[in-house]
Chain A
Amino acid sequence: MRWRLAGLAAVVVVCALAQLSVGATGASPGALFGADEHARMVVLELRAPRVLVGLCAGACLGIAGVVLQAAIRNQLASPEITGVGSGAVLGAVAASVAGVAQPLPMAVAALVGGVLGGGVLWVLVGGSGDVAVRGVVVSAVLVGTTLVLLTARPQLAGAVSRWLLGSLAGRTWEHLAPLWPVAVVVLVAAVLLGGVLDVLAVDDDHAHGVGLAVVPWRSGVLLLAAVATSAAVAAVGATAFVGLLAPHLARRFVGVAHRAAVPASALTGAGAVAAADAVGQVVRVPAGAITALFGAVVLVVVARRTGGIG
């Protein structure tokens, strides 16, 4: 198991190095140690924060996805269809419309939106795990509200579309500052909750039967997913499919026990965002567009090869 996690980590490092190597100028990661001051600054000040923000955001989305899929026992659960992702986008966009530009207040606004979005859904489903249809409805209402907000301030549409699509362009050390502590905390918390997630993933009666108080624990882990999603969305926007795809790929590498599936999903999410941004910079489209395109295709291929998603 440790070797498999180490293998995944190695893949993430390769993806990150690829991302660090691409950009408008020809600077390579080796420039960090070279004499060319300009190339060193490009790598250190432009590319390195972009890579690290992408890794942390991808890890957060991967953790949110694996936690959500266990907590609501739906293999198609992801930040996008649980109201959390679209709530976070709405929070970030509302903050933009209100004139907020700093990363930290933006992250707080996204967190409030994500928790409210997830909370609305939670109230609608009354504590049960039946979220699929209601989640789509809640997300549609939140995305609709976001678009109405954009109509009110059309001049922001260009900047705000980043949150709707997901992009790493222009990410700086300032964006990394509020993100990395959240990524570390949610990773540690989700790994520590691995045993709870294992039990929740089976069935409510089963969980009650073995002694787990379902509603408080599920509420807690959903809040954790909301925090992870909101932090990622505030930094890079709603990077589609990462939260859905990462847990499925991770479980294929390390199995379904969450003690291993959580870090594996974090690594897979981080690697996916890094790879998507590397490719996206080459073909000049945002990382979110790449994850949306390739995520859907990879998911279908995985499902067809194995006779199902899971």
Chain B
Amino acid sequence: MTPLRAERVHVRFGEHEVLKGVDLAVREGEWLSLLGRNGSGKTTLLRVLAGLLTPSSGRVLLDGGPLDRVPRRAVARRIALLPQSTPYVRGLTVRQFVRQGRYAARGPLGMLGEVDDPRVREALRDTGVEQWADTPLERLSGGQRQRVRLALALAQDAPVLLLDEPTTYLDIRHQYEVLNLVRDLQRERGLTVVSVLHDLAQAARYSDRVVALLDGVVHVDGAPSEVVDAVLLREVYDVAGSVLWITTNGVLKMVVVPD
């Protein structure tokens, strides 16, 4: 089953072609991480998959049908996106913001009442932001706000979760807390996750599959233990070095050692 599929996707910004024919089938229940240098088109591809950006040519299929023909509310019930950053409205509380994740499920009139929504409570609890539920967003740190954004994406209760650099702004403890949470949800609820991750070690540890973009096309596609190696470092990131795989406490981990 393929919930999301990109077919020959080209994206051009003026003269600059960022994506030059990307083919990518996201499998149900997998965690797929997009790798690549800065500017390689990872975020662009994620936005295309989310339906926020229309490809110059090519198409995206959601559950087998063209994504651009699916109404926005129906898309949001299937796909939740955690963007790199979201502006916030001064005075808007964490609970009010996270509650907006229920728009697709409840509709414009359903957003009116102060109805206690169990999905919102669950998302606040799971992301550990419950204690700031009634705090305005501007009083939170960047890391706390990032967790609130994740809570919004979780409140959408969509089976596909797109994460654009979800660990940005987070200290190392919260980075692993967020990634562990997403992994738990992926396993418990069978979520399909597509993430952009800059940290190769995190990508290798959490992903079932990594896809590296180079020159606007898919350069490498496979399981992390099979494709994340010195060749990928050199070809994709232009870094000379070694990749060491070690097992601690039964978990396979990866370390990059530059030359």
Contact = CB atoms under 8 A, between A and B. Distances in A.
Interface string A280-298: 0000000000000000000
A195 B113 CA distance: 9
Given A196-B108, A205-B83, A210 B91 contact: no
- Most B CB within 10 A of own CB, among A192, A193, A210, A259: A210
- Most B CB within 10 A of own CB, among A198, A211, A217, A255: A211
B75 interface: yes
Interface stretch (B96-104, B211-219, B239-247): B96-104
B103 A195 contact: yes
By size class, the interface of chain A is: 20 to 34
A210 B111 CA distance: 12
Given A195-B103, A251-B91, A212 B72 contact: yes
Nearest to B162: A209
Interface in B67-102: 71-77, 80-81, 83, 86-92, 96-97, 100-101
A256 B110 contact: no
Contact of A257 (B96, B103, B109): B96
B156 A210 contact: yes
B41 interface: no
B88 A202 contact: yes
A199 interface: yes
A256 B90 contact: yes
A301 B119 CA distance: 41
Contacts of B80: 209
Contact of B76 (A193, A211, A251): A211
B48 interface: no
A206 interface: yes
A210 B109 contact: no
A192 B111 CA distance: 9
A95 interface: no
Contacts of A310: 90-91
A208 B103 contact: no
Contacts of B101: 210
A195 B110 contact: yes
Contacts of B254: none
Contacts, number: 86
B51 interface: yes
Interface in A257-306: 257, 259
A195 B109 contact: yes
Nearest to B78: A211
Interface residues of B, number: 34
A260 to B, nearest CB: 10
A130 interface: no
B88 A308 contact: no
A209 B104 CA distance: 9
Contacts of A208: 51-52, 72
B76 A255 contact: no
Nearest to B74: A211
B77 A205 contact: no
A203 B91 CA distance: 15
A14 interface: no
A201 interface: yes
Interface in A204-221: 205-206, 208-213, 217
B112 A209 contact: no
Contacts of A213: 71-73
Nearest to B111: A195
B228 interface: no
A54 interface: no
B52 A256 contact: no
Contacts of B104: 210-211
Contacts of A201: 89
Contacts of A217: 108
A198 B86 contact: no
A62 interface: no
B96 A198 contact: yes
B81 A209 contact: yes
A49 interface: no
12 contacts: A192-B109, A192-B112, A195-B110, A198-B111, A208-B72, A212-B73, A213-B73, A217-B108, A257-B92, A257-B96, A308-B90, A310-B91
Interface of A: 191-196, 198-199, 201-203, 205-206, 208-213, 217, 251, 255-257, 259, 308, 310
Given A195-B109, A202-B86, A206-B100, 20 more contacts: A193-B108, A194-B112, A195-B106, A195-B108, A195-B112, A198-B100, A202-B87, A202-B89, A202-B92, A202-B100, A206-B86, A208-B51, A210-B101, A210-B103, A210-B152, A211-B72, A211-B104, A212-B103, A256-B90, A310-B90
